[in-house]
Amino acid sequence: MRIETALPEPAGNAAKAFETRPDVVHERVRAQAARRPRATALIDGAEQVSYGVLDAASDAYAETLRELGIGPGTVVPVLLPRSAHLVAVLLAILKRGAAYAALDERWPDERLSALVRQCGPLLVTRRTATAWPARVWTPPRDALSEVAAAARPHTPITVTEDAACCVFFTSGTTGTPKGVVSPHRGTVRLFQDCAFADFGQDTVMPQAAPLPWDAFNLELWSTLMNGGTSVLVRGEHLLPGELREMVARHGVNTLWLTASLFNLYADEDVAAFTGVRQVMTGGERLSVAHVRRVLDHHPGLRLVNGYGPVESTIFATTHRITAEDCASGGQIPIGRPVAKTRVHVLDGDRPCPVGVQGELCVSGDGLALAYLGDPELTAEKFATVDLDGEPTRLYRTGDLGHRSADGLLHYSGRADRQVKIRGNRIEPAEIERAAGDVPGVTWCAAVPEAHDGAYRRMVLFYRLADGAALLPGDLSALLRAALPGYLVPDEVCEVRGVPLTSTGKLDQRALLALPQRTAGRRGTAARADTAELTGDAVAAVFADVLGMPGVRADLSFFAAGGTSLDAMRLCVRLESRFGTAVPVSQLFRTPDASSLAAWLDAAHAPAQDERIDPERVPLMPMQVGFLIKHLLDPQEVAGLCRLAWWFDEPPDEGALLGALRDVTARHEALRACYVVDETDGQPLALVDAHAPAVGQEREWLALPAEPDEEHAWRALEAALVHPLAIGDGRVWRAGLVRSADTGRTLLGLAVHHVAFDEWSQSVLCDDLSRAYRVRLGLAEPPAAPPPALWQVVAEYRRQRGQADLTAQRAYWRTALGGTPRLRVPAVPPGENAPASRSWTITAGELAVWDKTARAYGTTRFAVLLAAYADALHRVAGQPDLAIGTPVARRASRTLATALTCLIDTVCVRVRPAAAPDGESLITQVREAAGAALAAADVPFSEVVELVNPVRDGSGTPLYQAMFSLHDQEPVLELGGLAGAFRRPDPAEATCELVTGVWPRQDGGCVVHVARRQDRMPASFAWAAGERLVAILRSGPTALREGTN
């Protein structure tokens, strides 16, 4: 589709008011690249992209787009995840004189196809070259620096400021999304000589807004057009903990938050704004109470209220909020128009006097060019009106407001049905159209529900045809498959009749007051007020963790997409909110906000009567196991957790050693002596609080340079894989080696598992990064100490005290009774095969499993475990399997911030032969894994004693195969040097067969299979790995294939 950009020329004074020189987004970014080519433009995880590289890479992409026929007037739909590559692609499209339409690739396929067709594209940009309504271009996955280095010259073409820049899709009153075509000048006007905020070379701003939204332009181009740094956020929302980390690590100082998310910060963690100098918020009416709380805690913060429909590109007005605004007794003003923009308060076509309410109408450079492919709607909404004797093109927003005597504009509400909920503009008609398409639904109404003067929830009421049966939960599931998450109603309610007002109109108040709503949402009437408050608060925490605009009270946390790691984050935040520890096992037993809120209402933290000696700290069950293995074989190396990073430039060796010493002094687990008490036989961590281990330098290895990176890698591995004397407090070892051919330096760490686990990786990296900066004089030492080991043990015991251990023990006796051993052939004599192998699964292949997990209301872990069970069943020919999987005990703030070993193992029993098809197997595994995790408060060592399996001393009891889904790679930055992580292979498998799935930054994963070479033949291990990989690459339809 080609876009007509010719507009009526402003006449007279209007022409003078908006006179400007041609200026476009990509040329302003290119100008920054010319001035400071080595300055950091983007931070994408561990990758830092300079302006020079970004400009050159986008030139390379632009040349490819030229060859593919992309030029002025075309629209290119972009379905890529947030990444540095995405930014380069957007710049390339602009350099070709085309416009981009950034879409969310996770939206339902039917919706995406419809939006792409609206664009009438010559080309669609996405990660996989699957069938699509247009030709697909998949940008190469090489690092941008490699793309830039291989770039061919691209001849710039002339692009005018009134040319189309981008297309934003927003809800339409007919139920069909409409594409808003925004010109370059709409974005440039805001950030060129900006008055409402300070954007410059020192600006560091997160990029977290949804890609199809105009706030994405705000976060990205405001920064890059002015030479600042954009920090990419991979999650759906920027949460307070992530902001704190970004401020400390990257110097983030500027922020955009929707009003709802701003309120969450104010309620949950107002101190998270520390270090931020300016915050822009808006998207819906601001809460005076929340604004006042933030300004009270951060009086020097520049806080800006931004208002503007997408048709006026990001902001039409802004207002610097002051304490006086909060004390006036009214609402926060939306302020004055931004540069090259005017806002009119009209009654029809006539201006309203000061203080009189009218419709807010916008004119100026920010106005959209058109609605994509809809000239009639464009003519209706973008009218030319005679104002002050001048023909003026303006947009009628449908918002009501007035101008006060001091010239400030104030927002009053909507003149039509459109509402904003959690910052998203929602047309109820779009929800109603989707619900009305469901067979059996004869009538429906989407009704917004207000609280404290602002819309908070959307409730869908529906009526069925005679004989039809459709439960609210089923209708909600159908809507989730048809609509983006922000359009899915928060609540769905079936009605028998439709209440009307005296004038025959729908009585929305009566619908919202229906008794079946209040009766169905929460428990008894006697507890309704308190329970409702708790339920709303729990649902808000659910939404916060899941990165969703809202979560229904009856929706399972896992059905909403929560992972096992999300579950731990949720428990930490619930404890912070309610002051009651929530075991992860409890979440599996009560997985929805309503039932979990009921449990919280009834829960009471048990008293802590027992005292723990801070210098003689009892070990946790899994730590005891690691210590015993070490005592039985002091030369063992299976207990070493190893990490490594490549750095392009060598770190300061003195500062690094000092930082390691500082981190060791900070965390007791890294300097304790792990022993068995000679008098009572109790396993202990001996901590001397007054004498931190300064002798750790003996485990610092400064290795000589090696000729190339492969030799450097081997040298470091050989140096790290040696036993650690944990009884003497030698818990870690570190080494540094340089590769002569590339000049890169490799840093490696080995920490004993008795003091360390996977969760601890991020704690260690964060503290080491900060300690290194402190040593260089670039940061202040952290003020708050981490929890002491005795506090960690006390908290662990407190959480166990809240669990129903009797019921959990009974579960394990029943579930694992008679568990068979894995049937494995003997290892051939003299076998000399490798101990491990790896395979790669692409992002597209993995996405199919994620989609299946959502469809079954479960996690990625559960569906991948089903695939693993099926693979083991096919290779071993065994109908009944026991599979071990690690669990982290981190369900409170104390446990989440501790660096120590807080893992255990649960055993999941799966019977693949009893599942006739893949659907049955996924359901079985989902239920088995959920039940096992719900009983995870009983330590595995105790489970073994309860079940008392037959043991021959030759292997792990209860299970001989482990499966684990791991977190993202740990990020380590040393004073501006970003480390490129490389994970060493395990020195030795912890049981007979260990299979791990490790996420990759490109959205795919690595399947790694390790074996005990003395107990597991290579033929069996590799057959199981290859079968699993074949299933994962084929998709869920391959489950149980050919086995019936």
Tokens read off for 906: 């649960």
Looking only at the bridges linking them, the beta strands covering 302-307 and 278-282 are parallel
Token pair 């990001």: residue: 314
Token representation of residue 813: 């006796």
CA gap 431, 540 in Å, rounded: 22
Question: Interhelix angle for 653-666 vs 758-775, to 10°?
Answer: 130
pLDDT of residue 449: 86
Q: Which residues of the chain have pLDDT under 70?
A: 1-22, 129-133, 171-176, 236, 416, 422-423, 451-454, 500-506, 515-534, 564-565, 568, 576, 579, 602-610, 689-698, 783, 951-954, 987, 1042-1044
**Whether 298 contacts 273, CB under 8 Å:** yes
Which residue in this structure is represented by tokens 């299970």? 959
**What is the reported pLDDT for 257?**
93
For the chain, give percent helix, strand, coil, nearest 5: 40, 25, 40
Taking alpha carbons only, the member of 42, 28, 303 closest to residue 190 is 28
The span from the CA of 930 to the CA of 911, in Å, is 15
pLDDT digits (tens, 9 = 90+) for 1013-1022: 989 999 999 9
How far apart are the C-alpha atoms of 344 and 359, rounded to whole Å?
A: 8
Q: How far apart (Å, rounded) are the C-alpha atoms in residues 340 and 337?
A: 8
Buried b (16+ CB within 10 A) or exposed e, 435-460: beebeebebbbbbbbeeeebbbbbbb
Nearest to 461 by CA among 519, 506, 413: 506
Tokens read off for 5: 């950009």
pLDDT of residue 334: 96
Structure tokens at 816: 């694992």
What are the structural domains of the chain?
A: 20-160 (3.40.50.980), 341-412 (2.30.38.10), 427-511 (3.30.300.30), 553-602 (no CATH), 616-792 (3.30.559.10), 803-821+836-970+985-1038 (3.30.559.30)
Q: Is the dihedral of CA 123, 129, 132, 135 positive or negative?
A: positive
- pLDDT for 778 equals 83
Which residue, chain included where needed, has tokens 């000399």?
Answer: 832
The answer to whether 688 touches 723, Cβ cutoff 8 Å, is no
The first and second tokens of residue 768, run together, are 């080491």
Give CA–CA dist 112/90, Å, rounded: 19
**According to the model, what pLDDT value does residue 259 have?**
83
**H helices of 742-788, where?**
758-775
CA distance 815 to 906: 12
User: Beta strand 683-686 with 673-676: parallel, antiparallel or unpaired?
Assistant: antiparallel
110-160 tens-digit pLDDT = 788 888 888 888 899 988 766 666 788 999 878 888 899 887 888 889 999
DSSP-assigned letters across all residues of 938-987: S-HHHHHHHH-----SSS-SS-SEEEEE--PPPP-EETTEEPEE-PPPPS
Considering only CA atoms, give the Rg of the chain: 30
Place of tokens 């490594």: 644
DSSP-derived letter for residue 2 is B
Residue at token pair 């302006």: 51
User: Between vectors from CA 311 to CA 333 and to CA 287, what angle results, nearest 5°?
Assistant: 25
Assess contact for 208 and 233: CB atoms under 8 A: yes
861: enclosing H helix or E strand: helix 860-876
Our CA angle for 189, 192, 194, nearest 5°, is: 95
pLDDT score recorded for residue 899 = 95
How far apart are the C-alpha atoms of 518 and 314, rounded to whole Å? 38
CA–CA separation, 149 and 65 (whole Å): 18
- Residues with Cβ within 8 Å of residue 641, at least 6 apart in sequence: 750, 751, 752, 753, 756, 757, 758
| Residues forming beta bridges with residue 700, ordered by sequence position | 734
Distance of CA 67 to the CA centre of its chain: 36
Strand partners, 478: none
Q: 465 φ, ψ to 5°?
A: -70, 155
Report the b/e string of 785-821 with b at 16+ CB within 10 A.
ebbbbbbbbbbbebbbebbbeeebbebbeebbeebeb
| Residues across the chain | 1044
Task: Give the residue carrying structure tokens 């999941």.
Answer: 908
DSSP state of 837: E
Place of tokens 């690094």: 656
The Cα 656–Cα 697 span in angstroms is: 11
Closest CA to 646 of 701, 709, 699, 704: 709
Token pair recorded at residue 846: 């993995």
Q: Is-above-0.85 flag for pTM?
A: no
Q: What angle do CA 749, 755, 759 make, to 5 degrees?
A: 75
**Closest C-alpha among 834, 856, 846 to residue 997:** 846
Among residues 920, 936, 831, the alpha carbon closest in space to that of 884 is found at 936
- In angstroms, the first-to-last Cα distance of the chain is 50
Is the C-alpha dihedral spanning 914, 918, 921, 923 positive or negative?
A: negative
In which order are the strands placed within the sheet that holds 40-44? 47-50, 40-44, 229-232, 204-207
Angle between helices 528-546 and 593-602 in degrees, nearest 10: 120
The closest alpha carbon to 312, from 268, 360, 270, belongs to 360
Closest CA to 602 of 688, 550, 678, 531: 531
Q: Indicate the helix (H) or strand (E) that contains 846.
A: helix 843-855
